[in-house]
Each structure stands twice: as structure tokens, then as C-alpha cells.
Structure 1
Amino acid sequence: MNGTLERTFAAGIERELTAIGTGRSRLQRHQRRARMATVAAGSLALAGALTGAALVVVYGLPGTTEVTPFPDSVSGSYVGTAEVELGAVPEGADRVILDITCSEGGKIEVQTRPAAGSTGGGAYWDCSDPIREIPTTHIDDARLPAAGATSITVTADPGTPWSVVARYGSSETSDWGVNARGETYGVPNDEGLPDLHSAQATNGKIGYIRNTELMAFEGEGYIDVYESDGETVIGKFPIGDPAELGDPEE
């Protein structure tokens, strides 16, 4: 399993960490629905910029969404907020796939498909953010045009130049697994969070953290990472900065 953060997606770290939550953003209090992107070439490990850990999406785990792009694409260059004309929505399309390139200016925002139980979501980033080593941001879950429309809006700060390659896409999501305890396990997807969702422990092992334990946790520290049975502990997941938390085995 390739646990390396894909640089193309570096600009999305802020969006994903906000959606997933961390010890500092108090996921257990806000109970935000997870919105995680998948990477066509393998896996996406979201760097724990705030937690020092990673919530991961790996192909093959239950609940993974496989996105298939349609062959035809459109491209264009714009400044500030603009409408991207995509043409009529083809049969079977359930999303728009975007590769947006910018290296100067301000913030850009794209409306994304809503997770279960929510009314909507969005991807947003700052084109001049120094963390963005690659200027192209890939979004594989942008919202389709409104009923009867053929274009989507990309919101950008005035004077911000950007270009895009866009196409329609379809997706197929596998079912979550169910263990002997009756708990669902897998990766977060449009249905929300399974009872046990995928995470990488401080020892590098990939397993699952229990949603109720994360929600109930107060302050900073460690929670258990389990195998899919929800009983066998294989490591620890940090809530907070591991450099400050110390060794989880002590």
C-alpha cells in the first residue's frame, strides 16, 4: 500500500481535514460527515497536519468508490468566478471531474456532491498557499449542473487566474463490510461513516478506528486502531500532535 500523499492533492488537505475533523477541530463535538477523495493510481493518505496521523482511503477496502471519467473533456482559462460549460449531462453521469490549475491569486471554491445527511459540500483552496508544490488540484466529486443546466460555477477571488480540464464521470461504491459484532467497517464515502473507519496507526499499520470512541474522546491522546473485527488492537491513532503526546505505549 502506497501511503504517500499525492502531491497533486496537497491543496485539498485543508478541505479534507475540515470535513473529517481532528482532535483540535473536535470531530466528536461537531460530528461532521467525512468526505474523502480517492486516487486513481492507488491510495490517498491524508497527512495529519493537525493530528500527525492519517485517515486513509485504499482501493480494495469496503466502501471504496471507484470513479470512471467519461471520454470527452472541455478546457478553458478564466479569471475570477466563471461558468464552465460542460454540455448536456450524459446518461449515467453522477459527478464532474475537474483538474484546476492556478499558481497565483486568491481562493477558489467548487461545490461538491453532498454526503449522506448533508445539504452540500465544497472544495476550496488558496492558489498562493506555499504548501501547494504542484499547481493543479484534482477534484473527482464536483456537483453536476443543476437540473436543466449544462454548466457549473467555479468561484474564485477577483483577479485570480485559473485554467481547468473538466469532464463528466460515473462512480461505483462497494458495500461496507460487517463484522461478527454487527459493526460496519470500511472507508468513509457518500453514505457517511461506517462504525469502524480506516486509519493508519502510528506504527504504520492500516486498520480501523471506532467512530463512537472518536466521538466520545475529549482532549488529546490516543485511541485504539483495530482489525476489522473491532476487537484486535493493532496500534494507536493520535488525537493531537504525536511529537507532543509522547510514546503511545508508555
Structure 2
Amino acid sequence: MSHDMQPETSAAIRMELAALGTRASSLQRHQRRARVTASLVGVAAVALTTSAAALFVANAPGATVTSALGTTTTATHTGPALVDIGAAPATAGAVIIDVTCLNRVGVVQVPTDDGTSTSGIDCSVSDSGTMHVTDGQLPDGGTQFSVNASPGTTWRATLQYASSVTSEWGVNAQGQTYGIENRQGHPDLVPYTADNGRKGWVLWEKTFGADRVGTVDVYETDGVTVIGRATPPVGTLPEVPLDRGLIDDLESVETAVPSPSSTP
């Protein structure tokens, strides 16, 4: 049975996958509305954002700031590989990775956060596609970073350790937390832009945590003062099967596993 979608929908999903791990992506791991089928979710644990009205605030409570540490390591491989990036500095909390596709084949993925999620790029979209990731998983007790890829995918990666500091969420007089989602989960109030253009905060449980969303209040950080109203739209892509080619690309990814002789 064919699982092909309309060309424009297929292209949109491919573009989103290529943008994973970059600011160009509208697919975010921590937002849970309008998920893009089990096939894609199973590989990269991603979900569609509700709209461009969702506001990302770089310095908001709960934001993670990374700063590069030490030297960079560059490696070029075909298929999955382990890249030795040396011992992690004492203050390292993440790995910064820049991946460039060198041929138009398959998918490249890297583990992020604590290894329970990944960021990936579909090289079949472009043989010069790039991906920038700032929350790569630290090597587990060693020096080798695993880059997972389809067997025929040729890629180049530049890797560097980084410090990673996540600020605490704010707490208002009502006892509500406010800030942005991070690896600890979500606060009670998350940033949003009201229909009148004012930037404020909405209750997570009534927007991103709700199955059905109507018009919601947008507050100041106090969770009481209403500065506007907003109607979050539904997800921008339909929940339909991915095209067969993309499914094949995703399922072809292999994990680089250290051999006993290469384990520190």
C-alpha cells in the first residue's frame, strides 16, 4: 500500500527534519501538540509547534545558555561512526555539533540532552544541508561521541564541548512557575504573543497541554493581569502517514556502538 502524501506536505516535513536542531525548525521536542506520526516521533521525539505566535525568549527563566569550551574536533565519515572528542572539561555540560551532509543520501542523527532525544537532518533533501546542535549528549564515561547515520550517508561533523547552565523558573505571588520549557519539563506559565501583539504568558495546561484549545488569556508574569487574548491555531501539518521515502530514510539510521577494544 502506498503511503505517499501530497508533494507539498512531504516537502514540508522533509524541510522540517532538515532544520531539526536549528532555529529554522518549527519542530520542537518539548511541545506536545499535533504530533507528526509515530514514525517520526519514534526517531526524534518531535512535535509541531502551535504557531509563530509562540514566543521564544532567550533570557527567560528556564533558558539554557551554552558556551564553547576548549578545541574543536572535525571528522568525516560515511554511515554511523564514533568520534573521539577527548576528555570532557570539568565544567562541560553539553556538546556543540555542526553536521554537514556531503551526499544526498539518508539521515544523520545525534543524541541530545541525556540521550533520550535526538536531533537529525535528512541529507536526501540536499547534499549540502547543515544542522547546528547546542545540546548534544556528553559521552557516557568516555571520550567518544556517537553520530548515527544511514549506511550510505557521508557527512562531516565539527564537535566541541560546552558549558551548559539552565536558569531557574520564576515563581509569582500565586505560586505559579513561569519561564520556558527545558529538560526539567514545563512551568505553569509559558511565553506567548497575544493577538494584539503584546508579549506575555499563557497557562501551559490550557494551551500546549490541552487537547482542544479555544481563546485564552495572556497574562503578565503574575498570572493575574490580563494583557490580551490569543487563539492558538491547530498544528500546521495534518496527522497523516509520512511518505514512504522519508520513512525508509529514518528507519535506515544505524547506531555507532563502541567495540570492546575502543572503550576507554
Establish whether TM, by shorter chain, passes 0.5.
yes
Amino acid at match of 2:35: S
Q: In 2, distance between residues paired with 1:125 and 1:222?
A: 35
Amino acid at match of 1:209: V
> Cα distance, 1:196 vs. partner?
0.6
Amino acid at match of 1:125: I
> Cα distance, 1:228 vs. partner?
1.0
2:183 is matched with 190
Relative distance call for 1:63 and 1:218 in structure 2 (3 A) is closer
Amino acid at match of 1:25: R
Relative distance call for 1:189 and 1:150 in structure 2 (3 A) is same
Runs of 5+ in structure 1 lacking a partner? 1-6, 27-34, 37-47, 243-250
1:110 is matched with 110
> Cα distance, 1:232 vs. partner?
2.7
Relative distance call for 1:95 and 1:196 in structure 2 (3 A) is same
Q: In 1, distance between residues paired with 2:209 and 2:139?
A: 39
Q: In 2, distance between residues paired with 1:210 and 1:79?
A: 46
Q: In the alignment, does 2:234 pair up with 1:240?
A: yes
1:120 is matched with 116
1:57 is matched with 56
Relative distance call for 1:185 and 1:20 in structure 2 (3 A) is same
Q: RMSD value over aligned CA atoms?
A: 3.0
> Cα distance, 1:59 vs. partner?
2.5
> Cα distance, 1:193 vs. partner?
0.6
Q: In 2, distance between residues paired with 1:225 and 1:56?
A: 12
Of residues 16, 22, 31, the one that matches 1:9 is 22
More moved, 184-193 vs 203-212: 203-212
Which has a greater percent of strand? 1
Tell me the SS of whatever aligns to 2:22: helix
Q: In 2, distance between residues paired with 1:129 and 1:238?
A: 30
Amino-acid identity (%): 34
Matched-pair contact (CA < 8 Å) for 1:53–1:202: no
Matched-pair contact (CA < 8 Å) for 1:200–1:237: no
Matched-pair contact (CA < 8 Å) for 1:50–1:240: no
More moved, 232-241 vs 68-77: 232-241
Of residues 219, 224, 236, the one that matches 2:212 is 219
Q: In 1, distance between residues paired with 2:98 and 2:154?
A: 14
Of residues 195, 201, 205, the one that matches 2:198 is 205
The alignment of Structure 1 onto Structure 2 pairs a total of residues equal to: 207
Q: TM-score, normalised by structure 1?
A: 0.72
Relative distance call for 1:181 and 1:240 in structure 2 (3 A) is same
Runs of 5+ in structure 2 lacking a partner? 1-18, 37-44, 237-264
